[in-house]
Amino acid sequence: MRGSWRGVAWGIGLLTLILVVGSVGYVILGFGTLDAVYQTVTTITTVGFREVEPLDSNGKIFTIVIILAGVGTALYTLTVLLELLVEGHVGQVVERRRMDKKIAGFRGHVIVCGWGRVGRAIARELTLGGKQVVIVEEDPQRISTVRDYPYVQGDAADDDVLRQAGIEHAAALVAAVATDATNLYITLSGRSLRPDLFIVARAREESSAPKLERAGADRVVNPQEIGGARMAAFLVQPNVTEFLDVVMHDREMELRLEEIEVAPDSPLAGISVAQAAVRDRTGALILAVRDPQRGFVTTPDAGTVMQPGQVLIAIGTSTQLAALASAASRVGSP
C-alpha cells in the first residue's frame, strides 16, 4: 500500500514537471503564457483541439516529445491510482469474507464485546485457555488494532452484529465495553437471541450489578472491585494469594486448578471419593464439589458421593487432571 502511494506521488510530480517544461517550451516557441499552458494541457490529455498557434518543425518535434512523455506519465499515474483504490477496497472485501467464513465455522467460541484494556486481557486469557474468540467493537480506531482474532465491527447491542459474530453457535458472551448502559443492552440482546447462552457482564458501578443480572447476565464482574480486593489480599495473606495467582495464571507452572464435570455415564457417578480412589488412581486432589442444587461442598470427605452433573474442583499436574477428566467422562472402570 505504501509503495502504491509512492508511485502516485512520483506520477503527479512528473506530470507537474512536464507541465512546467511544456509551458516554458511553448513560450520560447512564441506562445503567450496562458496559451502555452493551455497548449501543454491539451497535448498531455490528448483532447485533440487545434493548436493555438501554428507550429513549425521545431514546434512539432517538441509537441511529439510532450505527447510521448506526458501521455505515458498520465497513464502510469492513473494506473497506479486505480490500483491503489481497487486493492484497498477489494482487499477489505476479501478479508471480510474470509473472516466471516472463519467465524461461521466456529463452534463453542466466546464473543468478547469491547476491545479496551479489559477486553484485550479477557481475549488473551481465553486464548491461553484454548478458547476460540471473536471480538466485537464499534470504534474503527480500536478495531484496527485487532491482530490475532477474527472480529466484527459494529454495535454489539445490535442483533445482526451478534449474529455475524456467530452467537447461534457461541458458548459464552462477554459484555466488556466501557459503559454499564451499553453492557446492559448487550446483555439483553444476547439473552433474547440465546436464552441458554452463558453471559458475563462488566459493571463499573456497584448499583449496575443487579440490573445486569435482571437483564440476563449469569455473572457480573466489577474489575475495579476485584482489583482492589486482590491488592488487599496481597497485604493480608500474601502467600496464599500468590499461590492462587501462580496456579491460576502461571502457564509455566506444572500444578493447575481445573473444573471437571461428572458425566451421566461416568464410572465415578454414584460412588464415593473413597470408592473411586481418585487420589490413588489419578494423582489429582479434589478440593471441592459443586452441586447444581446444593452449591459448593468444600474439602469433600471420603464418603462424599459424586453424582452426574456435579463439577469437581481439582488440583494437580496436567497429566493428573487429564486422567481425572477421562475418568469423569468415559464409560468403564474407575
Number of alpha helices (DSSP H) and beta strands (DSSP E) in the chain: 13, 10
pTM: 0.66
Closest CA to 225 of 206, 241, 253: 206
- Residue 307 sits in a domain of what CATH number? 3.30.70.1450
Domain count, the chain: 3
Nearest to 40 by CA among 57, 15, 58, 3: 15
Task: Give the pLDDT score at 90.
Answer: 59
Alpha carbon 243 to chain centroid, angstroms: 31
Please state the length of the chain. 334
Alpha helices in 216-302 (DSSP H): 223-236, 238-249, 273-276, 278-282
| In 12-116, beta strands by DSSP E | 110-113
Given the C-alpha cell 496436567, which residue does it identify? 318
In degrees rounded to 5, what are phi and psi of residue 330? Answer: -100, 160
State which residues form the domain around 164.
Answer: 110-221
Strand 110-113, strand 133-137: pairing: parallel
Cα–Cα distance for residue pair 237/141, rounded to 1 Å: 41
81, part of any domain = yes
> Quick check: is 32 in a domain?
yes
Residue-wise pLDDT for 67-106, tens only, equals 888 888 888 888 877 776 766 665 676 788 889 999 999 9
- The mean pLDDT of the chain is 87
Listed residues 81, 101, 121: the one ending a domain: 101
Mean pLDDT by 10 residues, the chain (334 residues): 66 87 87 85 74 77 85 83 68 80 95 95 91 95 92 95 96 96 97 96 94 96 91 92 79 81 90 90 91 86 90 91 88 48
CATH number at residue 125: 3.40.50.720
Q: Is residue 233 part of a domain?
A: no
Residue 317 counted as domain residue: yes
Residue 334: the pLDDT is 46
Contact 223, 177 (CB under 8 A): no
Output the pLDDT for position 6.
73
CB atoms within 10 A of CB 287: 14
Q: Clarify whether residues 96 and 140 are in a common domain.
A: no
- Residue 269 contacts residue 307 (beta carbons within 8 Å): yes
The type of residue at 109 is H
Residue at 242 is within a domain = no
Could you tell me if 90 and 16 lie in one domain? Answer: yes
Together in a domain, 281 and 307: yes
Other C-beta atoms within 10 Å of 265: how many? 11
CATH number at residue 74: 1.10.287.70
Query: Do 115 and 215 reside in the same domain of the chain?
Result: yes
What does the alpha-carbon distance between residue 213 and residue 216 come to, in Å, rounded to a whole number? 5
The answer to the question of residue 33 being in a domain is yes
Cell numbers 476485584 correspond to what residue? 226
Nearest CA to 140 among 156, 124, 125, 154? Answer: 154
Of the candidates 101, 124, 159, which is a domain's last residue?
A: 101
